[in-house]
Amino acid sequence: MPTVSQVPVCCLCQEKPCLIKCGDRRHKSTVQYASRPELPKLAYRRVKGKSPGVVFLPGYGSNMNGQKAEALEEFCRSLGHSYLRFDYTGHGASEGVFAEGTIGTWKKDVLFVLDELAEGPQIGQKEKKIMVGSSIGGWLMLLAAIARPEKTAALVGISTAADHIVTSFNTLPLEARKEFEEKGEWTVPTKHSEEGIYKFSMNFLREAENHCVLQSPIPITCPVRLIHGLKDEDVPWHISMQVAERVLSPDVDVILRRHGQHRMSEKDDIKLMVYTIDDLIDKLTTMV
């Protein structure tokens, strides 16, 4: 298998492979739409290639065109591996209403992608994928791996937000929780939305409780890598430690970045993500 050192140097950033969005845009994948019976269409971009392929799961309110998602496409293309990124229902270019989405809605999206869109090198062939989940995508990645172990080769969590929305609400003072319950929604300050807040309905929170994974051992046995920034102000890094403690896999690494923030989209953050995935590809290929 070609290693990172054999990949041509990007003419703009002088990295190999290109680790930021300065790669040759002429080869950028095109947006496609997957129809589902009685469900909103999902927008996705796919690069065909060899196994193991990579599937990227974006964060809450994010989409498939972020820096990490684009850098991963550049990387997978450079090594000839398949790659798929997509928008959840109500996100980005996909159909649906964002405010009506739930953890369960987006879990179904991920399972549909794994079942119907993530083909192997041969048409119609299914293969195990490396799932890379950012923030809430890290939570959905765990849920998908539990539901589809036969389609999961390895997991890479970036600022993994497993159970985080539910845990955060449940740790509020009782009076505050009652106040939000009476209003019917919980508002949380954030730097990551135009309004400066996220709004979570009580129905969203109650539904999310059905998908919590941290109260018991997590039945995942594939290799797991969890990258988290110590300066993450949105999702505490100790959540990645909790995930690492609870997954049953014997092959789990947690990588803490001293100056890393929630989005982990600085050049060195992206470089670490790419090299972590490259090491996993090398390991998986050697195991075969």
Residue 121: inside a domain: yes
Residue 269: inside a domain: yes
Which residues are catalytically annotated? 135, 232, 262
Number of structural domains found in the chain: 1
Residue 156: inside a domain: yes
Residue 279: inside a domain: yes
pLDDT score for 11: 35
- Across the chain, mean pLDDT equals 90
Each residue's pLDDT tens digit, 120-136:
655 555 689 999 999 99
Measured distance CA(35)–CA(27) in Å, rounded: 25
pLDDT score for 118: 84
pLDDT score for 164: 97
Indicate which CATH number applies to the domain containing 53.
3.40.50.1820
pLDDT score for 2: 46
Helix residue ranges per DSSP H, 191-247: 202-209, 238-246
pLDDT score for 193: 82
pLDDT score for 18: 56
| Torsions phi, psi for 97 (to 5 deg) | -105, 120
Helix residue ranges per DSSP H, 136-253: 136-147, 164-170, 174-183, 202-209, 238-246
Beta strands in the chain (DSSP E): 31-36, 39-47, 50-57, 81-86, 129-134, 152-158, 185-189, 197-201, 224-229, 252-257
52: cis peptide before it, omega within 30°? yes
pLDDT score for 122: 55
Residue 42: inside a domain: yes
pLDDT score for 191: 82
Closest CA to 103 of 113, 88, 115: 88
Measured distance CA(234)–CA(104) in Å, rounded: 22
For 139, the domain range is 32-162+218-287
Q: How many CB atoms lie within 10 A of CB 98?
A: 13
pLDDT score for 16: 53
Measured distance CA(165)–CA(153) in Å, rounded: 27
Q: ∠229-253-74 over CA atoms, to 5°?
A: 70
Residue 251: inside a domain: yes
Residue 21: inside a domain: no
On whether the CB atoms of residues 208 and 103 are closer than 8 A, the answer is yes
Label the pairing between strands 224-229 and 252-257.
parallel
Which parts of the chain register pLDDT below 70?
Answer: 1-27, 119-126, 288
Residue 10: strand, helix, or coil = coil
Residue 93: inside a domain: yes
